[in-house]
């Protein structure tokens, strides 16, 4: 017996009802844009219609205005999946937080995204490096919000660039993305590690006035959304994808231990780890 064909999503159905192709919708959106390009491509729109990708607020507003339908109607297939399939739990304490974040990196199969400029835990950073070395096809996004805040993260980024070439396409895709959100872009720094399977978002400590040593562990639907979040941040970022570009970013110390190095001092080789602390993870 042939299984029934799944019902089209509301976003797809409204397009089909109007007799429009993906290409026609994208062309219409481009025509409406002040710059002549809305940023929406047929593959993006198809992914949104099928629920494989989550539509950002900007594009939701664009499509609701185009179709004249409310957000709650057009995107219920995306939001309902998150609400029904997502699980979350609290991670309390530095040891459990380190393990949860390391587990996300260890088990990532296709994508791994990390945001933040404050990582100083060398063991955690090494876990990321080992995961990428073990799985060459694992696509990695690293988003910095301002220059690296310590030598450990700066050295980690150097090791990534030594291990992988962002320009390499031998696997049919780019597998290393490092982007810098500059201070003048006025985008608040955010911290998370996400794969297609899970994500951990560090939160302020539940036991101390200092640091971020607790977190929230999220399931696959929310993790996929955070991967999309990282992709969108990367699209707005300045590329830091060569050793020359990286060495142009001197660490901007945010911790007294890092301030013991004068900013004019030469950087250590990329293979040399910096100091560690359990209070800064991303």
Whole-number percent of the chain with pLDDT over 70: 85
167 in any annotated domain: yes
CATH number of the domain at 57, please: 1.10.260.40
Residues 96 and 173 in one domain: yes
Residues of the domain holding 51: 10-83
19 in any annotated domain: yes
Residues in the chain: 282
Domain total in the chain: 2
Say yes or no to pLDDT of 194 above 60. yes
Say yes or no to pLDDT of 276 above 50. no
282 in any annotated domain: no
Cα Rg of the chain, angstroms: 21
CA–centroid distance for 63 within its chain: 24
Tens-place pLDDT, residues 139-176: 999 999 999 999 999 999 999 999 999 999 999 999 99
Residues 197 and 224 in one domain: yes
Under 8 Å CB-to-CB from 264, ≥6 apart: which residues? Answer: none
Beta-strand relationship, 139-145 and 111-115: parallel
Residue 103: CA count within 13 A, CB half-sphere: 14
**DSSP H helices in the chain:** 10-17, 22-32, 42-50, 57-67, 71-74, 76-85, 94-107, 122-134, 151-163, 220-235, 243-247
């Amino acid at each position: 017996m042939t299984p029934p064909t799944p019902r089209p999503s509301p976003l797809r159905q409204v397009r089909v009802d109007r007799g429009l192709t993906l290409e026609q919708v994208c062309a219409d959106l481009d025509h409406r844009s002040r710059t002549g390009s809305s940023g929406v491509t047929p593959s993006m729109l198809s992914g949104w219609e099928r629920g494989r990708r989550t539509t950002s607020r900007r594009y939701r507003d664009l499509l609701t205005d185009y179709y004249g339908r409310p957000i709650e109607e057009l995107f219920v297939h995306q939001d309902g999946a998150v609400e029904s399939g997502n699980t979350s739990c609290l991670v309390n304490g530095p040891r459990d937080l380190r393990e949860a974040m390391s587990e996300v990196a260890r088990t990532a199969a296709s994508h791994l995204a990390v945001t933040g400029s404050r990582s100083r835990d060398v063991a955690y950073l090494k876990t990321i490096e080992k995961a990428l070395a073990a799985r060459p096809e694992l696509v990695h996004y690293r988003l910095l919000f301002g220059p690296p805040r310590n030598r450990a993260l700066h050295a980690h980024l150097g090791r990534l660039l030594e291990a992988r070439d962002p320009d390499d396409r031998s696997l049919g895709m780019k597998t290393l993305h490092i982007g810098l959100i500059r201070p003048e872009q006025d985008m608040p720094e955010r911290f998370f590690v996400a794969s297609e399977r899970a994500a951990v978002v560090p939160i302020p400590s539940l036991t101390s006035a200092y640091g971020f040593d607790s977190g929230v562990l999220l399931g696959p639907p929310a993790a996929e959304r955070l991967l999309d979040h990282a992709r969108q941040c990367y699209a707005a970022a300045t590329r830091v994808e060569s050793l020359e570009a990286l060495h142009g970013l001197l660490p901007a110390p945010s911790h007294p231990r890092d301030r013991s190095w004068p900013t004019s001092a030469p950087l250590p080789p990329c293979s040399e780890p910096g100091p560690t602390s359990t209070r800064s993870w991303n």
